[in-house]
Structure 1
């Protein structure tokens, strides 16, 4: 069972929103993780500095929370590694076909009222719901 954490979730969402607004205001860039990671590798690495800083912050923030609060972020997955790899590849194909990821479309694109991003986010959410239903109730879980 997942623990209900509305205040922590609200704080995390606010920080994600703040980071997205600051990145757009200061650099004119969308805070989409797939685009940030894709642009850090050559030959697109001309502006790697802000990308590296953004990714370092995304990695350092949980470590900082653990260090300051002592609250460990528990993560355990019973899903076999093979299925994690397959699902990662499927997500990668989807990100490429959808011209962005949930952070780019869902956080930044919807905030800009982009019709394309709204359609992409609705597709992400519907696909997620269908996938969870199929895996949990039809296939029987993995």
Structure 2
């Protein structure tokens, strides 16, 4: 794995990680884990992850590369008109990190160590520029 931009561990209330493009106006999609561990719309991706009552989630944000043995949970483009992407908990109250982008339609791929209860997630964004100070 190369091009690491950020890495952090945190407790995730509700057990849902959010990756969202600023200015998309899409809102947050509905996630029903009875049918899928992910949900997405034009501007936002939700991924079911380990709940903070069980353990911490480790998130790595990279430009390229995937840890061996990880499973692809999502790949697609997001709408990010303000050239900013946010990774946080589902409502953004407990943690959120922002990243500058070089395009308003970034390709985003999300990989997890366990597709049913991810304790480690790798977010791959080739067009990521840098982490922003919030």
TM-score strictly above 0.5: no
TM class by shorter-chain length? under 0.3
- TM-score, scaled relative to structure 1: 0.20
Which fold has the larger relative contact order, with Cα–Cα distance below 8 Å and residues 6 or more apart in sequence?
2
Larger Rg: 1
Structure that is richer in strand per residue: 2
Query: Which structure has the highest helix share of the two?
Result: 1
